[in-house]
Amino acid sequence: MTSYYFPPEFVAELRERVDVVEVVGDYVSLVKSGANFKGLCPFHGEKTPSFMVHRGKGIYHCFGCGVGGDAISFIRKVENLTYPEAILRLAIRCGLDVTPYEQRGQNAEDAQERQSLKKQLGVVLERAHEFFRRQLQRNLGGMVGKYLDERGISTTVAEQFELGYAPDGWDNLVKAIKKPADLDIAVQAGLIVKKDNGKIYDRFRDRLLFPIRDVTGKVVGFGGRTLSGAEPKYLNSSESPLFHKRRLLYDLYHAKRAIGEQNEVFMVEGYMDALSLYAQGIDNVVATLGTALSEDHLKLVKRYGDRVAVFFDNDKAGLAAAFRSLPIFLGAGVFPALVLLPSGVKDPDQLARQFPAQELREKLQDQVDLFDYYLAEQEKKARGRGYTERLAVLQEIVSLVAVVPESGMAGMALRTVADRLHLAEEVVLEVFGRVRHKGSFRKKDESQDLPAANVQTLSVDPEDMVLGILSRYSRLLQTFDLGNACFEQPISPIFVEQLKLGGNSTVDLTGVFGSHPQRDELLTLYSRLVLMNLPEEERDAEQALADCLKKLKIRYFRRQEQEIDSKIMDCQDTAAMADLLRRKMDIVNQYKK
């Protein structure tokens, strides 16, 4: 059997990459509880959930039996694995390459060489970082200082972000590093360029430099903004064993605490967007290094916060780009908000420099749900068209929903589609089923994430499901707060009260109703409920009950949305449309709490 040695650096990377909620969720039915998730502890018998999981911190803890730890210790304990076996299991799950760490022959030597190289890269990058910072301090009286002043970046912010400056010239960093061995490492770190003829020169010249850190805080590369007008305007480090721009977000290391506290992240495109917002007190912001949004980016931010707000240029091209990003967002299970930039404001950088701090915060809350905005545009596109054109629009929309990995979220999205397009849910589900079967947008190995059975259950009335589960599992009457349940049927709260009076009489409730004035109505309801297919296990029933109560809450608020929806249908004015969508967003935010 192959043995492995995983160095501390690899284990640290794994801990940052793995999602403890997803790992634990494979074994425990988890329910969102504030900033945490809770469920029944898998390590001791309990009826009341005391097992808590915190995604941002990457830990779990049971307040019943006292067991706790991270994802590695959880998988090790629940599967009875050794420490290396647990790391191996999770590393494969996260897509990390483990072959270099096999302890046999050449592989063992390769592993040591790779780890040695990463350490050397880290050392050279830190040396370069210190060099660039010193150069910035020495040149604040020149063009770089003038540029920072023009962009509203104070010396305090520049120091907090540890900005640097690469002086004009071809060999400033080369001379600073000096040693041939270190220069070779600097080439591999993307700091120095080596030509075919062996000549070397600085990659960054006359540029303001932004150090890029991984989630552990280590400098892994740089982004440079030209000060001389040279192309490209922004230049990143080249790819290296440490620097993969599709897996990195600028300033996530510093922003992750604020993201967790506020449960929201603002995602921008450029370094200056992030700095300008931060300078105004917005510290839950990250940037995508000027590259296209990726699934890896979203996996990173989802570890720390649930809500994602994005910016796109304030024009038709920007809106089209926003819509093109939806498959990536929805594929990661994220329904983003779109920050509506005021007229005449082109990007977050300009927004931050144009408005004072308090007004800026208000502007940042001027948001609409991007998927809802997309539906509004698609509905206008289909309005007045023939059956074929309208069907094509519906197919395009449900193809987008098909990438959503979680069936409950997909179900809610499909109901929104049905409401917006004034279609029966059955019609939308039928088209969705056909599209999903064809695999539109969905990877083949992800098709199991949304089984056909889940699609069929979307049409089950959640109110009936709540009452059915409570009538079978009476203990759950005490577990859940039903006082705020958003029942639609007037008989439902009466039925719940009768269940409470009946105590454990869940086998036959007909006698419980006794001489109640609405006995016949109660019995009719009960006869329907006893024929329902309900979860066989109480743990599954508890999860289903939580899900259905949430659906009832959402449905309750959707009734309040109907008036706004009807106005949106007839709206032709862009400004009025934005106002309606803002009002709708306020309602949506209430049932997201």
Q: Tens digit of pLDDT for each residue in 119-163?
A: 899 999 999 999 999 999 999 999 999 999 999 899 999 999 999
- pLDDT > 80? residue 56: no
Please give the CATH topology (third level) of the domain spanning 8-97.
DNA Primase; Chain A (3.90.580)
Per the model's pLDDT, the better-predicted residue between 58 and 57 turns out to be 58
- pLDDT > 50? residue 338: yes
236-240, 329-333, 503-507, 565-569: the lowest-pLDDT one = 503-507
CATH architecture of the domain formed by 110-243:
Alpha-Beta Complex (3.90)
Per the model's pLDDT, the better-predicted residue between 98 and 558 turns out to be 98
> In this structure, what token pair is assigned to residue 162?
């540890």
Are 482 and 467 spatial neighbours (Cβ–Cβ below 8 Å)?
no
- pLDDT > 70? residue 439: no
pLDDT-derived band of residue 108, with 50, 70 and 90 as boundaries? low
- pLDDT > 90? residue 360: yes
Please state whether beta strands 285-287 and 264-268 pair in parallel, antiparallel, or not at all (unpaired). Answer: parallel
In angstroms, the Cα distances linking 252 to 20, 308, 310 are 19, 14, 15
In angstroms, the Cα distances linking 494 to 491, 497, 513 are 5, 5, 10
Per the model's pLDDT, the better-predicted residue between 166 and 61 turns out to be 166
Q: Interior CA angle at 73 toward 219 and 332, to 5°?
A: 60
H-state helical runs in 303-386: 316-324, 326-331, 348-354, 357-364, 370-382
- pLDDT > 80? residue 449: no
Per the model's pLDDT, the better-predicted residue between 513 and 1 turns out to be 513
Are 530 and 469 spatial neighbours (Cβ–Cβ below 8 Å)?
no
The number of C-alpha atoms within 13 Å of 363 and in the hemisphere containing its C-beta is 22
* Per-residue model confidence (pLDDT) at position 50: 87
Contacts for 533 with CB less than 8 Å, ≥ 6 apart? none
pLDDT-derived band of residue 97, with 50, 70 and 90 as boundaries? confident
* Per-residue model confidence (pLDDT) at position 126: 96
d(CA 125, CA 492): 65
Are 244 and 288 spatial neighbours (Cβ–Cβ below 8 Å)?
no
CATH number of 462-592: 1.10.860
pLDDT-derived band of residue 515, with 50, 70 and 90 as boundaries? low
- pLDDT > 80? residue 571: no
Q: Which residues of 40-71 are buried (b: 16+ CB within 10 A; e: fewer)?
A: bbbeeebeebbbbbbbbebbbbbebeebeebb
CATH architecture of the domain formed by 252-355:
3-Layer(aba) Sandwich (3.40)
Contacts for 202 with CB less than 8 Å, ≥ 6 apart? 166, 169, 170, 171, 172, 173, 174, 191, 192, 193
10-24, 361-375, 551-565: the lowest-pLDDT one = 551-565
* Per-residue model confidence (pLDDT) at position 520: 64
- Per the prediction, the chain carries an average pLDDT of 84
Q: Which residues partner with 360 through β-bridges?
A: none
Are 358 and 281 spatial neighbours (Cβ–Cβ below 8 Å)?
no
Strands (E) across 490-536 are located at none
Q: CB 272: neighbour CB atoms within 10 A?
A: 23
pLDDT-derived band of residue 188, with 50, 70 and 90 as boundaries? very high
Average pLDDT over residues 162-167: 97
Average pLDDT over residues 271-293: 92
* Per-residue model confidence (pLDDT) at position 527: 54
Type of residue found at 257: R
Q: What is the pTM of this model?
A: 0.64
d(CA 52, CA 517): 44
- pLDDT > 90? residue 536: no
pLDDT-derived band of residue 64, with 50, 70 and 90 as boundaries? confident
80-84, 200-204, 438-442: the lowest-pLDDT one = 438-442
Percentage, residues of the chain above pLDDT 70: 88
Most confident of 89-103, 473-487, 523-537, 540-554: 540-554
* Per-residue model confidence (pLDDT) at position 441: 39
pLDDT-derived band of residue 258, with 50, 70 and 90 as boundaries? very high
Average pLDDT over residues 416-431: 86
* Per-residue model confidence (pLDDT) at position 359: 96
Average pLDDT over residues 289-313: 86
Q: CB 438: neighbour CB atoms within 10 A?
A: 12
H-state helical runs in 342-490: 348-354, 357-364, 370-382, 387-401, 407-421, 425-438, 452-457, 462-472, 476-479
